[in-house]
Structures are given as structure tokens and as C-alpha cells.
Amino acid sequence: MSELVAITRQVSPGINQCELTHLQRQPIDLQRAQSQHHEYEQALRSLGVDVVSLEAAPDLPDSVFVEDVAIVLDECAIITRPGADSRKPEMEPIAKTLSPFRKLLFIQAPGTVDGGDVLTVGKHIYVGLSSRSNQSAIEQIQSFLAPFGYQVRGVDVTGCLHLKSAVTQIGDNLLLVNPAWVRKDDFPGMQFIEIDPFEPYAANAVLVDDKIIYPSAFPLTRKNLETAGIKLVTVDASELAKAEGAVTCCSLIFKK
């Protein structure tokens, strides 16, 4: 039996009404997006992850991006209170799904935070100060997690929607980073692989054990990763990228 479980949610038929902050709206091919999401779930399964796939929500355009609604740690799960009002109805079904696995804690107003702004590396939690996440939420997260020994730090983000658009973990103390969008100095003690500057959105990857799930759209950065000995499982996420989504956005992965 796998030690890891991933919660995913099928692509909403209303995804063309998704929230957009930094990208211009382009038509999203629903059938192709659904096919790519299925490929993503299969990639998780190929890495030994048990996938809990929730039904699509036609009235919640962004609901495929389950990462934004929760922060799941070994000790508890925090339901986030997303920064976009249209996404707050996503909280209840994810809380219901997580409740058998973890004690739940809830961010309260005026706090807002998207899970895409939260990078956990061991006992260090970095929270992007973005258009979706604020200082009140950071203070609440610190209060929740201090008894468990976590250190929570706010990180300035520029040029992109979420912190994990700019930096993700790809190994022990190893981060994949776009230094134009986030400062490496905000991650003391970390090592880095920089994205190719011609691929600004290439810093988002899903770490599963010693491998990463990585978009096929960034061949230059992928070559750098392979040269560094990183093991990759590539997926096509091009349709979901039009909704400002990336590979981390589409799952909540945690130990059972």
C-alpha cells in the first residue's frame, strides 16, 4: 500500500470563466484539458501515489486547482480561505475530503492565502506575499504551527501569481527558482537550480520522493534538470497553464 495519497479534482466545465491575474484570457480546450489532467493523475499513480479524484464542479471554474484550498502537513491540515472570493466555495468539499486524514484548522478573516503561495521545506514554511495572500494569514499559520516546531516566513513575490510560480522544491534543500520573481536570499541554507531565462514559468515542479513531475513545455530548463541528475516524469499541462495553473496546483499530496 502506498504511503502517499493525492487529492485531485476533475476539470470544471466552466474553466473558461477562471480567475486571471497576470495572463490574458485565451480559450481553453475543455476536452484537451481533461485529457491532460488524466495524464497528470496517471503520472502520480506511476510514482506510487494513491489518487483520490473528486468530481468536477461546473459552478467552480478554478476548482481543479485543489492546492490553493489547503496546506497539508503531517500534523494537521489548514483550510486556506483563498484570496479570490469566487474560490471560497471550494473550501467546504476539500475540508470534507481531508477530514478523515487530518485535524483541520481554518484561516479566518481578514486573512487570505492560496496554497500556491505556500512552500514547505522540512520545518520551514515560506508564504508568498502576493495579490492572493496577506500578512494576517501568515500570522495565523505561524500561530497554528508553532507548537509543531515550524518556522513561517513571508516572501515577496513579483511578476507572477503565486510563490510556487517562482520557486518549488526539487530535492533535499534544493529549489528550482526563477530569480526574476523571487529573491534567493529569502531561502537561507538552500541550494538552487535556476530556470532558463527564456522559460519564465518553468520553476513549478511536483516533488514525489526522489522524482519530479514536470511540464513538457520547458525543454531548456528540463535539460538543466536532467544534467543535474534530477529524475523527471513529464506531462503536458498546456491547457491548464492558460488558467494560470501549474503542476503543483492540481494536487494535494501527503502521507497517509
Question: How confident is residue 79, by pLDDT bands cut at 50, 70 and 90?
Answer: very high
Round to whole Å and give the CA distance between 68 and 66: 5
Domain count, the chain: 1
Whole-angstrom Cα distance, residue 66 to residue 110?
21
Nearest Cα to Cα of residue 225 among 195, 198, 200: 195
pTM: 0.95
User: CB under 8 Å, gap of 24 or more: what pairs does 221-230 form?
Assistant: 221/176, 221/195, 221/196, 224/193, 224/194, 224/195, 224/196, 225/170, 225/176, 225/193, 228/193, 230/170, 230/171, 230/193
Q: What is the pLDDT of residues 151-204, one digit of tens each?
A: 999 999 999 989 999 999 999 999 999 999 999 999 999 999 999 999 999 999
CA–CA gap between residue 148 and residue 76 (Å, rounded): 10
| pLDDT of 253 above 80 | yes
Q: Judge whether 160 counts as a catalytic residue.
A: no
CATH code at position 154:
3.75.10.10
Catalytic residue among 18, 160, 249, 250: 249
Q: Which three cell numbers stand for residue 107?
A: 484561516
CB contact at 8 A, 250 and 67: yes
162 is catalytic: yes
Which residue matches cell numbers 467552480?
Answer: 60
**Residues of the domain holding 161:** 4-255
Decide: residue 216, CB within 10 A, 0-12 exposed, 13-18 middle, 19+ buried. Answer: middle
Quote the mean pLDDT of the chain. Answer: 96
From CA 95, how far away is CA 92, in angstroms rounded? Answer: 5
Whether the predicted pLDDT of 1 surpasses 80:
no
The whole-angstrom separation of Cα 242 and Cα 130 is 19
Confidence at residue 143, expressed as pLDDT on a 0 to 100 scale: 98
